Structure 1
Amino acid sequence: MSRPRPRSKARLSPPLPPAADLLRCLLLLAAAVAVPSVPAVADSSAASPVIVATLCAATQAADPEGFDVSFVNTLELIYQNVTRSGFGAASSGTGNDSVFGLGQCLAYLTPTDCQLCYAQSRVKLPHCLPADGGRIYLDGCFLRYGAGNFTTNASDAGDTALCSNATAPSAPAFAAAAASLVRNVTATAPGEEGYYYAGTASASAMPSSGASRVYAAAQCWRSLNASACEACVASARDRVVGQCLPGAAEGYGLNAGCFVRYSTQPFYLPADAAAGGGSSTRHILIIVFASVFSGMAAIGIAFIWTRMRQRRDHLHHDDMDGSGEIIRAIAASHLAFRYEELRKATDDFNQIHKLGQGGYGSVYKGVLLDGREIAVKRLFLNTRQWTDQFFNEVKLVSQVQHKNLVKLLGCSVDGPESLLVYEYLCNTSLDHYLFDAFKKNALDWERRAEIILGTAEGLSYLHNASEIRIIHRDIKASNVLLDERFRPKIGDFGLARNFMADQSHLSTGLAGTFGYMAPEYIVHGQLTEKADIYSYGVLVLEIITGRKNHNSVASSAEGLSLMALVWKHYNEGTMMELLDPNLREQCSETEALKVFHVGLLCAQASPNLRPPMWKVVEMLGRADRALPRPTEPPFINVKGSNSDGSGSSYSLKSNSDKSPFSTNQLSVSGVQAR
C-alpha cells in the first residue's frame, strides 16, 4: 500500500479586473466588523496536515442521530485536553448512543501545530459516519472514535502498514540502517517519557561520507501502560520492516495504540534544525541574504502595484465573469472614503481611540469633518478570496438592510493600507457588558429582552425576509453590537452564506465558533438556517443567566456545563435559580421562564425540532402562546471536578480504568483564522 501524496493547496489567482484598488478593498467587506470577534474556525484553502490513512468501521450505528450527538460531544471533550497537553480521551452517551474517543499529537509537534493537526482530523473523521467506529492518522496526530471502549487496546484488526512509492537509496545499505534504527527507537520508546523516542542513523555504505541518512520515531498513546506500549511498537515495527523494506524510502506502522515511522526526511525535526544547523557565519549570511531579498521583493511588489494602478483606467474588462457591472455600481456609490480623511478622523490612528483588535486588524473610533462618528478598521493585510466568493459576499453585504444589522458605510484604498468604515456603535459588543461583573448592571431586564428580541428579528430577516436567504454561521455575544440605547445589531458577515429557495442545505467546510455550533453541522458539514437557530439558543441562555458558555464548559459550582445546568434545572422545575441575580427584581417569573423555554427550544439536539426564527419572534412577542416541551440539548455530559466551587479546573471522565483527564477553559481557536 502506498502513502497518499500531499496535494498542493496553491491556486492560480484570477486575472485582476479593472478598478483593482477598489476590488482590493471589497475583498475584505464580508470579513470585517466594527468590533473584532474572538477566534473562530473558518474555511480556508491554506495547506493542511497530510492525511496518511483513514479507516472506517464496516458496521453502522444503531441510532445514527443519537450517535452523532454523542460523537460531537466526545470530540469536544477531547479537544480540551489536546490543546493543553497533546492528548485527550473521553466518552459520551449511554447504550446505543455511547461514543468513546481518543486523540493524540506526536511529541515532535509544537502546540500550535498540534491544534492545527487535531482540528484537521476533527473535520475529516466525521466522513466515517454513520459507521460506529473510525480512525484517522495524520502526519503528526491521531484521532479515533468507537462505540466500545478501545482506549487501552494496543492492537486490533485495523492495524496496518503504509509504504511510500519512492524508492529507497542504495537499497542494501539503507535497508539495514533503517531496520536497525526502527528496532532501536521501538525498543527505547516504551521506557521514555510520553512513550516517545526518535533518532537518526547513516544510511550509506560509508557512514563518514554523510551521503544519506534515515530518520525514525515511535510513539504510543498515553492511554496504554508500558507493557502494552512495548507490545504495540513491536507489532508495528515487524509490520513496517517486513512490508516496506528494503524497497521503500518511507514507511508507517499504524496500530490501534501506537505509531512507528521511518523516512529519508527529518520529519520530526523543526525546519531550522532539519537544515543541518550550520555555523553562525552561515546563519548570518542567510539572514543578510533574506533581508536583502525581502527588500528587493517589497520594492518589486510596490513597482508592480504602481504600474497596475497606472494602467487601471486603460484596461477594459470583457465582463465575462459579470464583475464589471458590480464594480461600476459600487464605484458610483458613496462607499469611497479618502485615506487622508480617515487618518485625520482617527487622529492618525491614535491608540486612545482604539476600540479593539482582532485577527484582521485594529478598529478605531473616528469623527469626520461633518461631525459623524464612524468606526474605522485598519486592516493588517489583504485577505485572499477567490472571485466567486468575493462577488457572493459583496452581494450579501449590499443586499441586507435591517435595523438589527450593522451597516457598512464604505472603504478607502487610495492610501498605503486598506481601511473599512462602519457605523459607530458606542456600546461596542454585547460580550463586553454581559460577562463583566460591573458593566452587566447596565443590562437590565428591559434591555436584555430587547436584545433577545432584536437579534431574533435580525436573524428572521436574514433567513426569511431578505432578497436572498442568508445563514450567518457565527452568532455569539461578541457579534451582537449595541448602539447608544443598547439596541442590538448583528455584525460580522465574514462567514455568511446564501442559498437558493429550492436548496435544502449547503455542504461546506466547518466555520464558526465551537460552543455555538450545532452538532449536525459539526458532524456532517451540512449547513441550514437551523445552525443559526442553535447558536441563537445558546446566546439566549447566556443573556438570561449572565454566564458564558465557555465552549460548553461553564464554571459552575456543580461542575456542569451551562447547557447541562439549564437542562438539569428545567427538569427539576428550578429554572429561576439560574436567572442572573441582577434581574431578580426586574421581571416576573412568567417572563423569565418563557425566555428560558425559548432558549432551550432553539438549542435542541435535533435540528428538525428547533423553531424557525419567525416563530421565535412570535413566541417572544406573545405572552399567551403555549410553548412545546423542549427535548434534551447536546453537550450536557461535560463533568467538572471543581468541588470547591471555584470553577478553575475540570475533568473529563473517560469510562475507562484510567484516571480522569483534566482540561482547561481555553476558548476554541480557529485552525484556520478568518
Structure 2
Amino acid sequence: MAKTTPIHVVIFLAILSASSLADDSQFPVIKRLCYNVSALDPATFDVNFIAAMESVSQQIARDGFGTSVSGNSTNRVYGLGQCLGYLSSIDCRLCYAQSRVSLPVCLPVEGGRIYLDGCFLRYENWNFPSEAMDDKDTVVCDYSKNSSNPNDFRELAGKLVRNLSLGEGHYRAGRFDGSRMTVYGVAQCWRSLDSRACSDCLTSAANGVRGCLPAKEGRALNAGCFLRYSTSPFYLQQSGSGRGSIVTRHQLAVALGSIFAGALVISVAIILGRRRRRGRDSSFDSDDMEGSSEIIKAISQSHLGFKYEDLRKATKNFEDANKLGQGGYGSVYKGVLSDGRVVAVKRLFFNTRQWIDQFFNEVNLISRVQHKNLVKLLGCSVEGPESLLVYEYLSNSSLDRFLFDPFRRKLLDWRRRFDIIVGTAEGLAYLHDASEVRIIHRDIKASNILLDEKFRPKIADFGLARYFAEDQSHLSTGIAGTLGYMAPEYVIHGQLTEKADIYSYGVLVLEMVTGRKNNNSISTSVEGHSLMSLIWKQYSSNTLLEIVDPNIQGLCSEEQLLRVFHVGLLCTQASPTLRPPMWKVVELLVSMGKELPLPTQPPFIDVKGVESNSDGSETSYLFSSTTKSQVSINGMSVSMVRGR
C-alpha cells in the first residue's frame, strides 16, 4: 500500500488551501513579466533584491509609493512600487504584500515587473524609475464581455479614455454616462515620472487600450503608467474603508473557527484535503480519515498524555505571574504538578491557521530526538479546549533574557558564552546529522535557546521544524522563521536545507560576542550600520575587538574571541554552499589549531527599518508560500509590512 500523507500535513494544506483561495481573489494578477537575462552573481543579486524590496515596502506603508536602489556595479538592484490612487492605506499594503511575494519567481533574472488590480511592482539592474514607455508595454482585453451595442460603447469608452489621458495629475478617475450604460476608468502614472513623461505615457496607453473596444474591460500596462476602463465601478468599490472591514471579518472567522475541538477541525480538514487531492494522489486513502482520532487516542493513552485540568491547576489557571515568555505561536507558563514536579507548559495560540500543524509537528519531532542540548518534551494535552505542550522546566529561562538585558548580561561571562555557543552547535549537529530523522529547526535565535541552572543550553521550540528523507537535498516549503535570522536564499526561493539553520546560528554567535541584537535595521545603531554590516566593516579593517561586548573585553583570550567571530562570519556567508556543516563548526570551535578559511561578505541590509520591540521580544513568522507559486497575503510579514 502506498504511504499515506501525515495527518498534520493534510490539515495544514487543507486550511492553507482555503485561505489562499480567498486571498487570490482580492487583488488578481493582471500580468507578470520576467526577463531573459540572468544575474551574473545570483546569490548577491538576491540579497540586493531583498534590500531593495525592504526599502520600497517601508515607503509603500507610509504613502503608497516607493523607489529604492541596493548594491553596486553589476549586481545593483533598483526597485519601484506604486499603489493605485483609489486604494485605502490598508488595501495598499495588502496589495503590495501580494505583489512582493509573487515577483520573486522571476529571480535570478535581472528584471521583472508585476501588475495587480491595485498596484505595480518592478525591479531591474539599471535606473529605470523615470522610464515612461518601453517595448514591453502591452494591453490586456477581456473579450468575453463584449458590449451588445458596440458602436455606442466604442464612442462612450473612447471619450472616457481620451479624457483620462488628457487630464492633470498622476492619478485620474472618472466616468461617462450613456443612455443605456456607464463606463468607469482610472489612469495612474508612477510618481517617479514628471508631468511631461506622465502625459506621454498615458497618451500611449490610451492609444493602446482603444484596441480593446468593444470589450467591456481593457487595461493598458505601460512601463510608467496604468490605464483601465470598465463597465464595473471598480474604483468606487475599492475606495474607503469597506474592504478593511471585510478583511477583519475574515480574520475573525478564521480565529473563531480554529477554536473548535481538535477532532472536529481535523475531520473537516481531511475532507477538504481529500477533495483537493482527488485525482492527483492515489496514496491518499481512507486510512487518513481515521488518522486524527488515532493520533489523539495514542497520545492520550501514552506516557505523553496529560489531562488538561491537571495542567490548568498546575499553572494556576495560566496566571500571568507564572508566565515565562511568549513566542510566535504560544505562551509558556511555569507549572507545579500534583507530584511536585516543576514543568513548563506551552499554551498554543488559536488565532492562527497554522496552530494544528505546529502542535502535531512539535510532538512528532521532539518526541523522537534525545540530546543533552535539546529541550525534553514530557508530554501534551489534546483533549481539552486548547492544545498544550509540557516540557522540562529550565530555571534560567531563555538566552535573550540575559544577552539583551544590560544588567543580567553581566552574568554571561566568556566561559558561559563559549559553552552556550558550542552546546548549541552540538545540538544542531545532532539534529542535522545524528538523530533518527534529519531535522531542520528553522527558528534558531536567542529566545529559543533555554538555559538550565548551570547556564547549559538547550534548543527549544520545534513548532517550525521540518525533517528530511535520506534522499532529499532540500524541501520546498513555506517560508518560516524570524526576520533578521532567516537565510536570504531561503526567503527568496523557499528551498530549505540545513544551511538555513547554519545561517541563523551564525547570527546568534555574532550576537553572543557583541552583546547586540541583529535586527537588519540601522535605526537603533549608533554607528549607522546594521549589526551584520558593522561586523563586516570591522573585520575588513581588522578591528573586530572594538565591538566585543564590554562585559567580556579583557576577560578572555583575544585569539579565542577572534576565532569565534570568524566562525560566526563563516556561518553567515551569503552563499549557502560556503557555510560549513554544523559538525565542522563544532570542530572549528573546539580545535584551536585548525586553520580557518577566509569568510566572504555576509548579506546585510542597511536601510532604515522598523525598530525592534522595545521589550526585546521577538516574533516568528510563517509565510504561506512555496517556491514559484502564489502565496497567502500573510506573506506580507516577509517584507515588514506593518500597520500604521
Same fold (TM over 0.5): yes
Distance 2:237 2:447 in 1: 37
1:352 aligns with 2:321: yes
> What per-residue deviation string (whole Å, max 9, x for no partner) do you get for residues 548-582 of structure 1?
22125463333222222111111111000111112
2:224 — aligned with what? 257
Residue aligned with 2:126, SS = coil
How has the CA–CA distance of structure 1 residues 107 and 591 changed in structure 2, closer, same or farther, with 3 Å as cutoff? farther
Percent of pairs with identical residues: 59
Q: Which runs of 5+ in 2 are unaligned?
A: 13-18, 269-284, 614-618, 624-632, 638-644
Q: Could you say which residue in structure 1 is the equivalent of 2:133?
A: 155
Residue 139 of structure 1: CA displacement?
Answer: 3.0
2:453, 2:573 → 1: CA distance?
33
Counterpart residue number, 2:171: 196
Q: 1:630 Cα shift?
A: 0.7
* 1:367-419 Cα shifts (integer Å, max 9, x gaps): 22222233333444275569999876653233122222233333334333333
Distance in 2 between the 1:15 and 1:628 partners? 43
Alignment of 1:182-331 (within 5 A): 182-188=161-167, 190-191=168-169, 195-200=170-175, 202=177, 205-206=179-180, 214-240=183-209, 242-248=210-216, 250-269=217-236, 319=287, 323=291, 328-331=297-300
Q: 1:672 aligns with which of 623, 626, 634?
A: 634
SS of the residue corresponding to residue 583 of structure 1 reads coil
Q: 1:387 to 1:380 in 2, by over 3 A?
A: closer
Question: Number of residues paired by the alignment?
Answer: 580
Q: 1:359 to 1:606 in 2, by over 3 A?
A: closer
Q: 1:454, CA displacement in angstroms? A: 1.9
Distance in 1, Cα, partners of 2:513 & 2:584: 20
Paired residues for 1:586-597 under 5 Å: 586-597=555-566
Aligned equivalents of 2:334, 2:435: Cα separation in 1:
30
Distance 1:262 1:632, change over 3 A: same
Whole-angstrom distance in 1 between the partners of 2:302 and 2:77: 55
1:205 counterpart letter in structure 2? S
Encode CA deviations 1:63-100: one digit per residue, 9 max, x unaligned.
Answer: 44443343333333433433444333222333322222
Q: Choose from 393, 401, 415 the match for 1:424.
A: 393
In structure 2, relative to structure 1, the CA distance for the partners of 1:392 and 1:354 (3 Å cut) is closer
CA distance in 1, matches of 2:85, 2:612: 21
Other structure's SS at 2:634 match: coil
2:171, 2:398 → 1: CA distance? Answer: 46
Q: 1:574 to 1:384 in 2, by over 3 A?
A: closer
Question: 1:291-311: CA deviations, max 9, x gaps?
Answer: xxx9xx99x989x969x99xx
Matches within 5 A, 1:47-86: 47-48=23-24, 49-86=27-64
2:551 is paired with a residue of what secondary structure?
A: helix
Counterpart Cα distance in 2 of 1:231 and 1:63: 36
Residue in 2 aligned with 1:395? 364
Cα offset for 1:586? 2.4
Q: Say whether residues 1:529 and 2:498 are aligned partners.
A: yes
Tell me which amino acid in the other structure corresponds to 1:97: N
Question: What's the offset of the Cα at 1:617?
Answer: 1.0
Aligned to 2:281: none
Distance in 1 (CA, whole Å) between partners of 2:589 and 2:336 is 38
Deviation string 1:617-645 (CA, Å, 9 cap, x unpaired) is 11111222221111111226x26xxxxxx
Q: Tell me if structure 1 keeps the 8 A contact 2:129–2:193.
A: yes
Letter in 2 for 1:255: N
Q: Which moved more, 1:469-478 or 1:569-578?
A: 469-478
Tell me the C-alpha RMSD between the 2 structures: 3.9
Return the match for 1:543 from 507, 512, 515: 512
Report if the CA contact (8 A) 1:185-1:199 is conserved: yes
State which of 108, 125, 128 in structure 1 corresponds to 2:103: 125
Over 3 Å counting, the alpha-carbon distance change for 1:73 and 1:16 in structure 2 is closer
Letter in 1 for 2:634: Q
Q: CA deviation at 1:449?
A: 1.7
For the pair 1:339 / 2:308, whether they are aligned, the reply is yes
2:218 partner letter: G
Name the TM-score, length of structure 1 as normaliser: 0.76
Q: What TM-score do the two structures reach when normalised by structure 2?
A: 0.79
Is the 8 Å Cα contact of residues 548 and 554 (structure 1) preserved in structure 2?
no
How far the C-alpha of 1:333 sits from its partner, in A, is 1.4
Q: CA deviation at 1:485?
A: 3.3
Aligned to 1:479: 448
SS in 2 for 1:581: coil
Using a 3 Å threshold, how does the CA distance of structure 1 residues 540 and 371 change in structure 2: closer, same or farther?
same
* Structure ranking higher on relative contact order (CA contacts 8 Å, 6+ apart): 1
Structure 1 unaligned blocks of 5 or more: 1-13, 18-22, 29-42, 207-211, 277-282, 310-316, 640-649, 651-662
User: How far apart, CA to CA, are the structure 1 residues paired with 2:393 and 2:184?
Assistant: 57
Q: Name the aligned partner's letter for residue 259 of structure 1.
A: F
Q: Which residue of 1 aligns with 2:341?
A: 372
Which residue of structure 1 lines up, in the alignment, with residue 408 of structure 2?
439
Q: Which amino acid aligns with 1:482?
A: L
- Check whether the contact 1:155–1:232 (CA below 8 A) recurs between aligned residues: yes
3-state SS in 2 of match to 1:399: coil
**For residues 221 and 536 of structure 1, what CA distance do their matches in structure 2 show?**
41
